[in-house]
Structure 1
Amino acid sequence: MPFKTGRERTPMVAKTMKIKALLAAAMLAVFASVCGGSATQASASPTAQSDASQIVAEMGAGWNLGNQLEANIDGYPSETAWGNPTVTQALIDKVQGAGFDTIRIPVSYLRHIGPGPDYAVNSSWLNRVQEVVDYAYNRGMYVVINMHGDGYKTINGSWLICDSSSQTEIKDKYQKVWQQIASKFQSYDEHLILESMNEEFDGQYGQPTQPCYSNINDYNQIFVDTVRKTGGNNSSRWLLVPGWNTNIDYTAGDYGFAIPTDEYRSSSIPGDEHRIMISVHYYDPWDFTGEENGTITQWGPAATNPSKTSTWGQEDHLDAQLKKMHDGFAMKGYPVVVGEYGSIDKSSFDSANNRYRADFAHTMAATAKKYGAVSIYWDNGFNGQYGFGLFDRGSHAVTQQGIVSAIMSGTGGD
């Protein structure tokens, strides 16, 4: 059966469906508090080195601050555009308190990028991105930020289009925007991970096409080179890159994905180590995880109703997919990050649905741990029918404790 590991997102679909501590870190946060400043300013020393297995273990359980900094109105990013309230320190503290060690913060830039040749990013927007990053970073959490919606053809203001004929202009713009982002975060230590883009493809679900895939590889290479050349801690920072639509088969298989070279990284990194991670997403089977209907509401070996359970995409499939990534990348020293996974709430059709959602989340977290990968749950801030939410972003209450507990059990967290 054909399947998707990513989703086409229009603003409305995104609103309703997607609407996904270490002692040293704690000391850093305390230092910042005592000194009355930001820990980001305190971390000017060279980035501490962590090998692949160590950083995966330290990143622990991950959570997405979805539908906030990638939300937009007519191509202008705004964190409340898709119905979520303004992000607060209290929310991030609640997420950390629930056991999450890593937060992925999707970010769109779109029409906050000025005209060429400078392509200056709106300073107020970039400052707000930094402020939200600091909510987690200053608490000692790992933080992933990316360029999220700039490649979606369905969003006004998108421009990172891999099958466009304007590749010279696109690549120049991409380089200059990432140069500004990387410079903004140059002094942050390895708790900040930069991700080149999100679910980049030609918009058609099917096998990769050319020259689109070659352009995606070019974007990843430009990203790595640009970040490294900004210097400081960026010269040794972990960088995260995806293949075609963050699809496991099209990244691990023989479809054209190329791991970027890293010739500008710090000479302090041993030659046999890497500082590049590989990003994929996982939403299989889509009829359980994402289809907005009550047809398929159960998943896994505990499912009681075969007519409510997908005929594919069960535990054996998940295991096989993550094994592909382990064998193709993790075994070669490139950590794998499942940057998004999750399933929508269909409990209005099946009162037991949230139990199967918890089973799915537990199995993903446990299988990722088994294969040395990081898993980051997609939370769009939306609770109720078809929502991915684990927290109420207004009250900060945990809304799906069963799923949170399942994730922690799978990763071995508290």
Structure 2
Amino acid sequence: MIGPTGVLALAHTFGLLQSSVLAAVECTGTFKPISASEYVAAINPGWNLVQAVTFQDIKAAGFKSVRIPVTYADHFTGTSPGWAINGGWLQRVSDVVDMALDAGLYVLTNVHHDSWQWADISAAGANVTAIEERMYQTWLQIGQKLGCKSSSVAFEPINEPPINTEEQAAELNKINGIFLKALKDAGGFNTQRVVTLVGPNMDSIKTSQWFEAPTGYENPWALQYHYYSPYDFIFSAWGKTILSADDIAAVEKDIENIRANFTDVPLVIGEFDASPINTEPAARRKYMDVVVQKAKQLNTAVMVWDNGLDHFDRNTKQWKDPQSLQILLNAAAGVTNSLADYTTDASVDEQSSSAYVFHKVGDAVSDQKISISLNGNTLKSIATEDGKPLTPSTDYVASGGDITLKSSFLSTYFSSPAATGSKVNLTLTFSAGATAAVNVVQWDVPKLGLTSSKAVAGADLRIPVTWAGVNQPAAVKMRRNDGIYLFDDWTQYLGPLQAAYGTYSGQWNWDGNSLILTASTVNAVIAAGVSTTFTFDFFPRVPGNSLNYTLTV
């Protein structure tokens, strides 16, 4: 914690450096101060990483705010002691902030990737004095440039600062104070402006342990943390495509714990995500609901991370999972959602999901049941994606949350001659909350363009695939031909859907026409000197819906 003495010391240390950039900015017009609590309530829900051209789209979708991450590391034109930032870059930041304001959005902006470039106080041999100087000068200039913006604009000092020890955490607490000192010296409306201070790594546990707020400053402040847990579900690590009941309980406990440690502090989950690219739909939608509902209960704002691949297609202006969007918006408003049931037991050898109705090519068409947790709501109607309503008793029978789709209805989509793939999307409407989507899919086992090759170091291996159902792999098992797991032999203690499985993005990937083994995976096979079989699982994740590919050495 920085007390009054510390404030005076900082003033002495940094006071002489102000003249190296600009004098304190003076603003015309008025500034309508708001409290940190008012700001946090107003920004919920928010969005991350939006291009300027999508501000109107995000606003139209129902979001109230945008977090604009900015990297300054490549835009310094000066060195110590002034650390001048390119004026064109600062102007661009200002212009983008104005675009978001013009769209009617609240804004939170920060210093982003710099945290692991020049501002990493945990790095071996880190020059903490130089980092403090540069942080002060960076925020002095940002504060001068943005100092006359309205109270809809808030600042965040640094994104996810790496911290490993209590001593490093104490230094981060000091940097929060340096940030506030720079804003004060920058002039304008900055001492009245809301800020979101940060704890170690912006991790809820480390923040609860080591964060201490600076004293001696006037700014209304909230505390920001990020949430990407459970890690193995969010990042599809070790084959995990199931969100268990224990996982859900842990999520709720995590959010409750940080609130219990900061009972009177406005809280913001500045980043969280469960991506349609790599998570099963029903589990993903449940996760979205649990996080946002719990945050809402505990007066915590949420801001979704979207790098342009996850949720909103900036080119087509389409949402990849509109139900996740509806769930988030309703949960943020405190409205209860009805949600598709799915497998929660990680010990099983196959996985079901009521976000789908699956039919295997060649099987007889029969009635199929899906289950919905109504959560106090009632089912009002079911319709196809083109708006055609299904007829109760004829097309389906509903008993509470159990809905049986009749074979006579499904036969209009399922047959041996019919192509594989998504046949129709059904929309279930309830008395309140988000709709539920059910994707009706006819499937067969996909086909690979080749089934083996020799490992070649240094590049990703792309394997052509012809999809035959859901155009997305579920998980990839990686087992050497001598029986040893290529990675993480400890996964033998997990269930059969995870033992020997790799991790999405780092070890395997996919795109429209290819399954991908990453260069690091190929190199691991070469280093082991043993040919390795990769088993690609698809949805539905049931025995038989897999393909093997062998990488030889």
Fold conserved between structures, TM > 0.5: yes
2:303 to 358, 368, 376: 376
- The aligned residue for residue 281 of structure 1 is 226
Matched-pair contact (CA < 8 Å) for 1:44–1:188: no
Are 2:199 and 1:243 equivalent residues in the alignment? Answer: yes
2:266 to 327, 335, 346: 335
Residue type of the partner of 2:319? V
Q: How far, CA to CA, are the matches of 2:143 and 2:102 in structure 1?
A: 18
| Structure 1 counterpart SS, 2:62 | coil
- 1:44 is displaced (CA, Å) by 4.6
Return 5+ residue gaps in structure 1 as ranges.
1-42, 67-86, 153-157, 203-207, 266-273, 302-311, 383-388
- The aligned residue for residue 132 of structure 2 is 171
Matched-pair contact (CA < 8 Å) for 2:45–2:332: yes
Residue type of the partner of 1:405? Q
Q: How far, CA to CA, are the matches of 1:344 and 1:140 in structure 2?
A: 26
- 1:53 is displaced (CA, Å) by 3.6
Note the alpha carbon deviations across 1:302-327, whole angstroms, 9 max, x for none. xxxxxxxxxx5x23222222222222
Q: How far, CA to CA, are the matches of 2:99 and 2:285 in structure 1?
A: 27
Residue type of the partner of 1:226? A
Q: How far, CA to CA, are the matches of 1:216 and 1:201 in structure 2?
A: 9
Matched-pair contact (CA < 8 Å) for 1:300–1:359: no
Cα distance change on mapping 1:111 and 1:346 into 2, 3 Å: closer
Q: How far, CA to CA, are the matches of 1:103 and 1:341 in structure 2?
A: 13
Matched-pair contact (CA < 8 Å) for 1:201–1:213: no
Q: How far, CA to CA, are the matches of 1:245 and 1:64 in structure 2?
A: 18
Matched-pair contact (CA < 8 Å) for 2:59–2:104: no
Q: How far, CA to CA, are the matches of 1:403 and 1:44 in structure 2?
A: 43
Aligned pairs (5 A) from 1:12-91: 44-65=28-49, 87-89=51-53, 91=54
- The aligned residue for residue 75 of structure 1 is none
Cα distance change on mapping 1:61 and 1:165 into 2, 3 Å: closer
Cα distance change on mapping 1:47 and 1:359 into 2, 3 Å: farther
Structure with more of its chain in strand, by fraction: 2
Residue type of the partner of 1:296? K
Residue type of the partner of 2:322? Q
Matched-pair contact (CA < 8 Å) for 2:34–2:194: no
% identical equivalent positions: 27
| Structure 1 counterpart SS, 2:313 | coil
Q: How far, CA to CA, are the matches of 2:87 and 2:47 in structure 1?
A: 27
Matched-pair contact (CA < 8 Å) for 1:355–1:402: no
- The aligned residue for residue 103 of structure 2 is 139
- The aligned residue for residue 191 of structure 1 is 152
Are 2:189 and 1:233 equivalent residues in the alignment? Answer: yes
- 1:45 is displaced (CA, Å) by 3.8
Q: How far, CA to CA, are the matches of 1:210 and 1:284 in structure 2?
A: 23
After TM superposition, the score normalised by the length of structure 1 is: 0.69
- The aligned residue for residue 436 of structure 2 is none
Note the alpha carbon deviations across 1:313-366, whole angstroms, 9 max, x for none. x2322222222222222x32x21110000123355xx7xx12221221122111
- The aligned residue for residue 309 of structure 1 is none
Matched-pair contact (CA < 8 Å) for 1:46–1:232: no
Note the alpha carbon deviations across 1:272-307, whole angstroms, 9 max, x for none. xx61111111111000001356x1123255xxxxxx
Q: How far, CA to CA, are the matches of 1:394 and 1:135 in structure 2?
A: 19
Q: Which runs of 4+ in 1 moved over 6 A?
A: none
Matched-pair contact (CA < 8 Å) for 2:75–2:89: yes
Are 2:240 and 1:296 equivalent residues in the alignment? Answer: yes
1:103 to 62, 66, 69: 66
Residue type of the partner of 1:240? T
- The aligned residue for residue 400 of structure 1 is 321
Note the alpha carbon deviations across 1:248-273, whole angstroms, 9 max, x for none. 111113xx321122x242xxxxxxxx
- The aligned residue for residue 34 of structure 1 is none
2:56 to 74, 87, 93: 93
Residue type of the partner of 1:54? E
Q: How far, CA to CA, are the matches of 1:300 and 1:101 in structure 2?
A: 31
Matched-pair contact (CA < 8 Å) for 2:44–2:303: no
Residue type of the partner of 2:227? Y
Q: How far, CA to CA, are the matches of 2:74 and 2:186 in structure 1?
A: 24
- The aligned residue for residue 72 of structure 1 is none
Residue type of the partner of 2:223? I
- 1:228 is displaced (CA, Å) by 2.4
Point out the structure with max Rg over C-alpha: 2
- Coordinate RMSD, CA, aligned: 2.1
Cα distance change on mapping 1:98 and 1:300 into 2, 3 Å: farther
Return 5+ residue gaps in structure 2 as ranges.
1-26, 335-432, 434-553
Cα distance change on mapping 1:124 and 1:356 into 2, 3 Å: same
Matched-pair contact (CA < 8 Å) for 2:140–2:182: yes
Are 2:264 and 1:326 equivalent residues in the alignment? Answer: no
| Structure 1 counterpart SS, 2:330 | helix
| Structure 1 counterpart SS, 2:150 | coil
Cα distance change on mapping 1:214 and 1:362 into 2, 3 Å: same
1:160 to 89, 102, 119: 119
Residue type of the partner of 1:161? D
Matched-pair contact (CA < 8 Å) for 1:252–1:328: yes
Matched-pair contact (CA < 8 Å) for 1:213–1:244: yes
Q: How far, CA to CA, are the matches of 1:105 and 1:290 in structure 2?
A: 23
- The aligned residue for residue 211 of structure 2 is 257
| Structure 2 counterpart SS, 1:150 | helix
- 1:210 is displaced (CA, Å) by 4.4
Cα distance change on mapping 1:300 and 1:98 into 2, 3 Å: farther
- The aligned residue for residue 343 of structure 2 is none
Matched-pair contact (CA < 8 Å) for 1:47–1:237: no
Count of aligned pairs between the two proteins? 306
Note the alpha carbon deviations across 1:114-148, whole angstroms, 9 max, x for none. 32221111112222222221221122211111111
Residue type of the partner of 1:325? I
Structure with more of its chain in helix, by fraction: 1
